[in-house]
Structure formats: structure tokens, C-alpha cells
Amino acid sequence: MTCFVVKLLQRTQLSHSQVDVKPFIYARCNWLDDEAEFHFLSTFNNQNYRGSLKYTEIRSAANDLDLEYEAFLAECKKALTTHMGLPGFDYEISQEDEQPQAFKLYKCAGYETLYLDIPLKKVSNCYQLLDGAIDLGQQQATPAPSPDIEQKTKQKGTHQRFEEAAGGATRKAFQAEKNHLRQ
């Protein structure tokens, strides 16, 4: 199981009179053994959504596009787990008047290709997205250094000797370059 929480830029259609506002999609992706679960929060309408895809559906999409499954899955995962989105991909949550609502992942490489179409359900509980972010933060948090380690770093030791040696080498290289330029 692998879980990611990222912020994606939602694609928008602008007319000549509209203000250029950039709505975002906050996405929580939970990659399980047999499916991927998604929770989305759209800043366009402040609505929360939930959806999932079985890996068999992703395999079917790869077959439809005549792409190798492992490479397609890796590319989709990277596009959905990269903060602010992967260059060359567009992200969209269909408007409320469109039924059924879906999250769409497009690859834009000279032409637009729909990679994933994830059916969505509205949810009133936005806390699953926040809980996922908190859980990730807790997993990635590093413990504070022990007083024992702090004491060792205050003493003149290997680290300081390394800095002195590196500084000396840098000074020697700079002096050699300076002498070379004088000639």
C-alpha cells in the first residue's frame, strides 16, 4: 500500500472576458494491492469526491491505447503523485452539470489523449483527505536528535576537520587558477 497527497492544477477553459484564475485539485491517492483509491477536493467548487479504479480497468485502458501495461501504470502513478502535476499532463474534474462526474487524466503530447477516467461520487466528509496528509506527515517525520548527538557535533571532530580540508582544497584550487590567469 502506497499513499500520496498532492496538489494538482486543474485545467480550465477561458473565454476572452474571463479572469485567469487557477483552480486546484487536492488529491489523495492510495495504491492498494488490487485497486487504487482516490479522494479529491476541488477548489473550483469546494466539493469533495471519492473514486476508485481496479488495476484490471487500468490494464484495459493500456490495451485500448496500445501501450505496455507496466509502463502505462508507472506513468499514471507518476502523473497522479507528482506535486503540482507532471508536465505534459492535464487534470480535470467534470462540472456538476455533467453526469456522471469523473476525474480525467489527459496526456498532452502534440495531441490530447485521455489516459484515465475515474468515476466520482460526492462525499461530505473531507477529513479522509486531511487524515491521509496527517498520516503521511507522521510517517515522514524524523525524531529530534538526542542530546548525545548534539554534544558530539559541538566537539571538534571529523566534521570540522572535513570542512577545513575541503576549504583548504578549495583555496588551493582558487590560488592555482589565479596564478594560471596571471601568466
> pLDDT of 111-146, one tens digit each?
899 999 999 999 887 677 677 777 777 776 655 555
Domain layout of the chain by residue ranges: 2-140, 147-182
The DSSP string of 94-153 is --TTSSS-EEEEEEESSSEEEEEEEE-EEES--HHHHHHHHHHHHHHPPPPPPHHHHHHH
DSSP secondary structure letter of residue 57: H
Structurally, what CATH architecture does the domain formed by 2-140 represent?
A: Beta Complex (2.170)
Confidence tier at 181 by pLDDT (50, 70, 90): low
What is the structure's pLDDT at 80? 92
Please check whether residue 10 is in contact with residue 44, taking contact to mean a CB–CB distance below 8 angstroms. yes
What is the structure's pLDDT at 135? 76
Confidence tier at 23 by pLDDT (50, 70, 90): confident
Please check whether residue 37 is in contact with residue 119, taking contact to mean a CB–CB distance below 8 angstroms. no
Which residue in 142, 34, 40, 137 sits closest to 93, CA to CA?
40
Q: Would strands 24-31 and 112-119 be described as parallel, antiparallel, or unpaired?
A: unpaired
Q: Which three cell numbers mark 139?
A: 510517517
Q: How far apart are CA 69 and CA 26, in angstroms?
A: 26
Terminal Cα-to-Cα distance of the chain (whole angstroms): 63
